[in-house]
Amino acid sequence: MLTYRPGDSLAHRLDPRTKLLLQAAFAAAAFAHTTPRGLAAFTLLAGGFLVAGRVSPIDALRGYLPALPFLLAAPLVETVSVGFGGPKTGLAVGLDPNAAIGPLLASYRVLLILLVSAVYLRTTAVRDSRAAIQRLVPGRVGRLLGVGVALVFRFLPLLRADLRRVREASHARLGTERPLRDRMQFVASAGIRGAFGRADRLAVALRARCFAWNPTLPALRFGRVDAWGVLLAVGLAVGAFV
């Protein structure tokens, strides 16, 4: 799971608002130029982001492992064409590799965006993300979004860890010998019970700590490095509309 790790890399020194702007500009430019040549350039840029955050591509891909089958499924589904061949032949199944080019480029575009977001997750503390969102979106809406992001970033890794422990316990008790349907039902039910238990404990913890909608958040300051990040984000945003 991709979580924040303290460090002194270039991405760690960037203001979280600059990193959010870079993510949005990169995504907009990638969607505007989903071509082999454009994606080749964005691949180099995404690699630069990974180097700036000292994030391994393998670790980033491992963090998004549940999403990878869906990215691979789209080109495969488009490759297979099913049609009605007539009363005698019935359904006719054919393969059209050219039909998979568009979905393949789209899936690779999403993969690059995920790699860039992995740098943000690895180099930005949860409190800094909340502060950035509440400063970008004023009012109660911004506070609500900030609280939601903070809770998701803290809560989701715990839920995944709970599911992993349930699976490991099931395997240790020869759960692999059971039918797939029974295993899925067992893991799902145990995961739901754990999620509700976590939610109850979280509510009690928030009340015990006098949870406030407007806490004292860390100070955010733009530095010299952020100026280069903003220029790059502006260049990507301009490229998205040119």
Q: Which tens digit of pLDDT belongs to each residue from 192-203?
A: 888 888 778 877
pLDDT averaged over every residue in the chain: 81
CB 239 within 8 A of CB 33: yes
**pLDDT confidence band for 51 (50 / 70 / 90):** very high
> CA-CA distance, 49 to 115, in Å (whole number)?
8
| pLDDT, tens digit (0-9, with 9 covering 90-100), for 21-38 | 999 999 999 999 999 999
Mean local confidence (pLDDT), 133-147: 77
Give the SS3 label for residue 217.
coil
pLDDT for 13 equals 92
Contacts (Cβ under 8 Å, ≥6 apart) of 105: 34, 35, 36, 39
The tokens of 223 are what? 């530095």
**pLDDT confidence band for 84 (50 / 70 / 90):** very low
**pLDDT confidence band for 83 (50 / 70 / 90):** very low
pTM of the model: 0.72
| Whether residue 155 has pLDDT greater than 80 | no
pLDDT for 86 equals 46
pLDDT for 109 equals 93
Query: How much of the chain, in percent, has pLDDT values that exceed 90?
Result: 29
The tokens of 82 are what? 């099913």
Element (H, E) at 227: helix 224-241
> CA-CA distance, 120 to 189, in Å (whole number)?
32
| Whether residue 239 has pLDDT greater than 80 | yes
| pLDDT, tens digit (0-9, with 9 covering 90-100), for 111-123 | 999 999 999 989 9
Contacts of residues 24-28 at CB distance under 8 Å and 24 or more positions apart, as own/partner, are 24/233, 24/237, 25/232, 25/233, 25/234, 25/235, 25/236, 25/237, 25/240, 26/112, 26/113, 26/116, 26/236, 27/113, 27/116, 28/236, 28/237, 28/240
Mean local confidence (pLDDT), 205-227: 75
